[in-house]
Amino acid sequence: MSGKYVGASQRRNEDPALLRGRALFVDDLDLPNMLHATFVRSPYASALIKSVDVDAAREHPGVVAVYTAADLGDFCKSTPIVVPPPPIEDLVFNARTRTPLAKDRVHHVGEPVALVLAESRYLAEDAAGDVMVEYQELPAVTDLEKAMEESSPLVHEDVPRNIAAKAPQSKGDYPKAAKSAFKVIKRRIGYEHGMAQPMETRGIVARWDDKLGRLSVWASTQAPTSLRGALAGVLGMSEGQIRVVAPFVGGGFGSKVLYYYPEELLIPWAARELKCAVKWIEDRGEHFVATVQERGQIHDVEMALAEDGTILGIKDVFLHDTGAFNPYGLTVPINSQCSVLGNYVVPNYDSTMICVFTNKPMVGPYRGAGRQHGIFVIERMLDVAARELGIDRNEIRRRNYIPSDAFPYSNELVFQDFTTLTYDSGNYEPALDRMLEAIDYTGFVNEEQPRLKAEGKKVGIGIVSYMEGTGIGPYEGARVQVESSGRVRVVTGIGTQGQSHFTSLAQIVADELGVRPDQVDVVTGDTDQFYWGAGTFASRGAVVAGNAVHEAAAAVRERALELGAGHLQVTKKDVTIEDGHVVRLGNPDARIALGALALKANPLRGAVEAGTSPGLEATMFFGPERGTTANGVHGVIVEVDPETFDLEIRRYVVVHDCGVMINPMVVEGQIHGGVAQGIGNAFYEQIVFDDNGQILNATLADYLLPTSTEVPCMELHHLETPSRTNRLGIKGVGEAGCIPVAAAIAQAIEDALDLPAKGVELLEIPLSPDRLWALAGNVVQQPPRESRLATTGATALKRPPGNSTRTGGERADHGLTEHCGAARQGVGSTE
Amino acid sequence: VWAAQNDPQVLKAAIPGCESLHQEKDDCYSAVVVAKIGPVRAKFNGRATLSNIQAPERYTISGEGGGVAGLAKGAADVRPGEQGDRTMLHYAVRADVRGKLAQVGSRLLGSTAKKYANDFFAGFNDAVTGKAPVEAPAQPTLRAADDPKSSIRGD
């Protein structure tokens, strides 16, 4: 559905406040008599707590309270699980959640052991330094495979071999398919540990109003309604006593959904205990140890193929690092398990996921949430298959795409939302065709690449496909209300972390009610304003809340037409809505403003007719039967410096299909951010643990994020295959951008350096220059530039712990190059 | 030199940032040291034990210290040797860090340890000879480990 505003790149309603510094973030709150909290965190990945001595800390000036697990009483019990185990046959699932403060044992570096409350954060930090905790260190579990050995230490004493979960899922008969195959290829594919780095770290302010018996909470969260329910449960309060507000949130990326984070429970608890307001803002160092991480997986995968490249079946056994706790269930590995099927007809599939507890911070969704792992596996395997069968890499994909007339297409597995994995719609070949044309594939491989290679330039191209399950239930709701001023107010339960809800939801309403988007005020993420909802995650906000808003706006429209027709003394079919007025068809002078109608519908005298409600208002809910399936193709041309293995992205082209776009500019923003994240995942980001479970690069100087100089200007192409599961026809796009990037880049690097011909395949992430050097340094011929040769090799090997290898040396100038800002040039190391 | 390197006063003067140092037993010292590793500057309470003592040939000093910024465990084999009219101290260090020290300091641990060793031996030389040293009497052989997964080790 497109209208005057839906489908238009409308400027954002929220930007004036954000750009002028007038948007409220949690840390902006400064309440009277507010205490500041800090946590004493474990320096060990695994240890017994022998004693905690807080006497000295309590003596510090300005310190109001110091709490340890022993002080929490009944409050200090294992928190509930957020996402229960899915209905998978033969499922093994060992739920282990944490207590708000560690009692007898710590399970990862950063686990909170004590809470210090003082008049300022400085005083609290000083006092925290005097909390004396006596630990007895235990051997840590860090390696997924070793963790499963009989002799391994245990993260949880009662979970043998550290197996958190085992979930087999299958369709068809893989062994039979393998028997009949022309070729079966087997590979081991790895994905390393990383984590979300929102610009705003987590944070929470809680205030207890003793006279009202109410708790008010402002949290940097993706799920305010879920957090309210969680707090009511653990604090033994009614939900009506608790207001949770998610104000502006500076990025979530999955790290701020409900996890029963200790800080989110303890700050409200302490506020109630001390009858005051308490603030805690996570610092960046804490973020690395206290917030969820993601990504560590190892796949042993095989693919059975016919001679013509048709996929006959896939078998995959994979290990998933779930960290020390698993309150978010199997969401991430199920996404991986399902995404391995990609955009293709895979008639036989036999997959077993094994989730493994390790002494690392707990693992939960991080934008993409396991999907990129699956896409990396299938796309890398197709590249291997194409080579081994002598088929063009694009052709093998084309031959295996789910045909456009096969939708809705069931893949039979249980998906993360516990429904059957069903692709609602899709049209994959046109996306590939558009990509091949946009990136000029033929011209590049036949002319440009040979010419550049002849000049000694190592350039390569990567083109991969992806699909993304988005827009899952259970539901969202919205209330749309025309105020007597004529402005329209929209209230929904989801929060916002930069997704442009204030604009895109307004566009939907504007089309229905004949107003401009800037006449629509959107309120999100305040549980006192809207009771119901789930949250902003899983690429679902626009799809689920958007459709709820649409339903509510449509109902208000009907009501306005009815009341307006009555006022104009005509029938409903004789009126329409234009420019904020109900207007008589054929006689535009006969009109009444929506605001005036709203006022009339809320009379001071007389009665509101029985069975109707006052005002121009409607509340509606939307619960999709199942999610929507977005898809796309990413293409990248890279140049690799054969000395430093530094990369320059010469072109990055995205063809994507997220159904009907509400606001193409917003969609593009989501894709830009997603691709940037994907580049980080592909090249730079890796949390490095030592054998003791210590994180060795917990700063943004060591854990490298791509910056504006590493992120190229992207060329975006939109296709619109409307979803069949909602009236607006939209699909989610929040995570799409990051999903296929690593697979595309791996293919392009292989191509640039001719690695497969030299016996090297890139089957892991991240492909940082030092890792590339280790994998391919000895097979890539060094150009005869002697002056640099001696130092660069040593540089790559001498890298410090971590992946601090953003570029080999100085940044290139940042002017727009012919490829529009792909300005990072490979230069010799200056070390 | 052997006597000096077991003398708390000499050691206190030589250890950079040492606020106090007590000899608890013949082979056991406790100390409070303010140390700076990269962005981490914090007070560490530590305890060092001498073992494997074969005076005046060699000994092993192992220590463990901690504070709000994390913990460090380490050991050094020290071997004094004659070289003309001077004493050359050879040493090899192993160190292992926990908590914030690992998180924000591990990348800088090698270079910081080297600097501390230089400062220590310069101060030690000063205390023993009573004059400013003309050169650092020992070349530390610490290096950052190549394998990012391994802890920092000396040679």
Whether the Cβ atoms of residue A97 and residue A80 lie closer than 8 Å to each other: yes
Is-cis flag, bond preceding A766, omega within 30?
A: yes
| pLDDT (0 to 100) of residue A256 | 97
Separation between Cα atoms, residue A98 and residue A226, nearest integer Å: 18
Q: Using alpha carbons, select from A813, A804, A816, A815 the residue that is nearest to residue A831.
A: A804
Please judge whether A799 and B148 are an interchain contact, meaning their C-beta atoms are less than 8 angstroms apart.
yes
**B4 Cβ under 8 Å from any chain A Cβ:** no
Task: Name which of B67, B103, B106 is nearest A285 (Cβ-Cβ).
Answer: B103
Closest-CA residue of chain A to B151 = A690
Cβ contact B102–A694 (<8 Å): yes
Kindly report the number of other CB atoms within 10 A of residue A534's CB atom: 24
* The pLDDT of residue A782: 57
**Residue A585 or residue B111, greater confidence:** A585
- Test the B interface: residue of A39, A144, A696 with most B CBs within 10 Å: A696
Nearest chain A Cα distance for residue B11, angstroms = 26
Secondary structure (3-state) at A550: helix
- Whether ipTM exceeds 0.85: no
Query: Inter-chain contact A43–B66, Cβ cutoff 8 Å?
Result: yes
Residue A66 tokens, joined:
């110091």
Residues contacting residue A583 through CB under 8 Å, at least 6 positions apart: A575, A576, A577, A590, A591
C-alpha to C-alpha distance for A60 and A260, rounded to whole angstroms: 30
Split at pLDDT 50, 70, 90, the class of B59 is confident
- The pLDDT score that the predictor gives to residue B143 is 34
The stretches in chain A having pLDDT less than 50 are 785-831
Compute the residue count for chain B: 155
Beta strands in A450-500 (DSSP E): 458-470, 476-482, 488-492
A109, A800, A801 member nearest B99 (Cβ): A109
- What number of C-beta contacts closer than 8 Å exist between A and B? 80
Using DSSP bridges, classify how beta strands A163-171 and A63-68 pair: parallel, antiparallel or unpaired.
Answer: unpaired
Task: Give the pair of three-digit tokens for residue A203.
Answer: 């944070």
Q: How many C-beta atoms lie closer than 10 Å to residue B112's C-beta? A: 18
pLDDT tens for each residue of B17-45: 888 888 888 888 888 888 887 777 788 88
Of B39, B96, B103, the CB nearest to A695: B103
What pLDDT, on a 0 to 100 scale, did the predictor assign at position B134? 39
